[in-house]
Amino acid sequence: MVDEEMGPRQRGAETKRRRTRELIIVSTLELYDGKAEGDYTRDEIAAAAGVGVATVHNNFGSKYEVLRAAYDRLLSPLVDTIVEARKQRVYKPRDGVDELFRYIYTVAKVSHEHRALTVSMIRAYFDLSVDDLPYVPDSEDDLTEKEARRFLDTVLGGKIAEGLFAVLDTEAFPADKQYKGSLPTIFLYADALLMKIYHRKGDGVPVEITRDICTALLAVCLPEDDWSDIMGRIEAAKNMVDSRA
C-alpha cells in the first residue's frame, strides 16, 4: 500500500515503523563502527537502540536481517547511485573495465574497513534455520522484477550483486557475457567477495580481492583481451577511490 492510499492512522503507524527501523540500523552501525573483530547479540543491539528485543524481532525478524540492513546502508552511496543512474539511462562510465575495478575495490574496501559487521552478518546468515533462509529463485532464467527484487533484498551479497549487475550491463561487455536476467549467477561473485573478507585479514585485502574477483569476471566476460596490466589498473582504481575518501 502506498502512502497516498493510507489513512492518517496508517500513515502514522508506518512513519513510526520507519523511524524505529532507522533507529535500530543506525544504532547497529554505531556498535560495530571501526571494529575489525567482535560481535553483538540481538539483546545488545536492542539495548543500544533503546528498544526491546521484541521490537527488533518485529521489525527485522532475525539478527541476519538487522546486520544485512546495516551493511546495505554502508554500500548504499555506491550501489544506489549506480543503479539509479542506470534506471535513468545516464550511467555511462568512460571505461567500463576501469569502472568494474573501481566498483569491486570500493565494495571490498568498505567491507574490510567494517570487517566486524561484515563477518558477523555472514555468520548470522549461516546460523539461520532452514525455515528462515532467504528466498532463492528456482531458476536463473526469466526472473520477474518482483522476484529479482525479493532475491536482492534477502540473500547474502544481494546489495553487491545489484550494483555489479549494473556495472556489467554496459557497452564494455558483450551482450552475451553480461549475465542479463541472471542475478543468481552474479550473486556467486558477490558471495565470493564476502567469503574472502571473512577468511582474510591485513591491509592488502581489498586489492587482493579486487584482483581475484575481477580476474575471474574478465576471464568470462572478455576472455580474448590481454590482462597482463591488471595490477596497474587496479592500483589506478585504488588511488582514485582512496583519494576521494
| Closest by Cα among 136, 106, 115 to 67 | 115
Distances (CA, A) of 115 to 46, 111, 144, 172, 244: 21, 6, 33, 32, 21
State whether 53 and 126 are in the same domain: no
Please compute the mean of the pLDDT values over residues 174-184 and round it to a whole number: 59
Identify the band that residue 181 occupies on the pLDDT scale cut at 50, 70 and 90.
Answer: very low
Separation between Cα atoms, residue 209 and residue 229, nearest integer Å: 16
Residues 118 and 184 placed together within one structural domain of the fold? yes
What is the DSSP secondary-structure string of the chain? --GGGS-HHHHHHHHHHHHHHHHHHHHHHHHHTT-SS----HHHHHHHHTS-HHHHHHHHSSHHHHHHHHHHHHHHHHHHHHHHHHHTT----S-HHHHHHHHHHHHHHHHHHTHHHHHHHHHHHHTS-GGGPPP--S-SSS--HHHHHHHHHHSTTHHHHHHHHHHHSSTTS-GGGS-TT-HHHHHHHHHHHHHHHHH--STTHHHHHHHHHHHHHHHHHSTTS--TTHHHHHHHHHHHHHHH-
Boundaries of domain holding 210: 63-244
Same domain, 163 and 74: yes
Grid-cell match 529479482, residue found: 148
- Which of 35, 61, 87 is where one domain is finished? 61
pLDDT at 22: 96
For the cut 70, the answer to whether the pLDDT of residue 9 exceeds it is no
More confident residue, 210 or 11: 210
Tell whether 224 and 108 lie within a shared domain.
yes
pLDDT digits (tens, 9 = 90+) for 108-133: 999 999 999 999 999 999 999 877 77
Cα 53 to Cα 22, 57, 58, 65: the distances in Å are: 15, 6, 9, 14
Q: Are residues 37 and 81 in the same domain?
A: no
108 and 9 in a common domain: no
Same domain, 91 and 190: yes
Same domain for 73 and 42: no
Band of the pLDDT at 179, cuts 50, 70, 90?
low
Rounded distance, CA 70 to CA 127, Å? 18
Same domain, 152 and 240: yes
Residues 163 and 236 in one domain: yes
Whether residue 55 is predicted with pLDDT greater than 60 in this model: the reply is yes
Confidence of residue 4 (pLDDT cuts 50, 70, 90): low
Please state the domain count of the chain.
2
Question: CATH number of the domain that 32 lies in?
Answer: 1.10.10.60
pLDDT(75) > 90: yes
Contact criterion met (CB below 8 Å) for 218 and 97: yes
Same domain, 222 and 235: yes
Q: Which region among 8-17, 33-42, 49-58, 182-191 has the lowest average model confidence (pLDDT)? A: 8-17
- 134 pLDDT exceeds 80? no
All 3 cell numbers of residue 168? 556489467
25 and 139 part of one domain: no
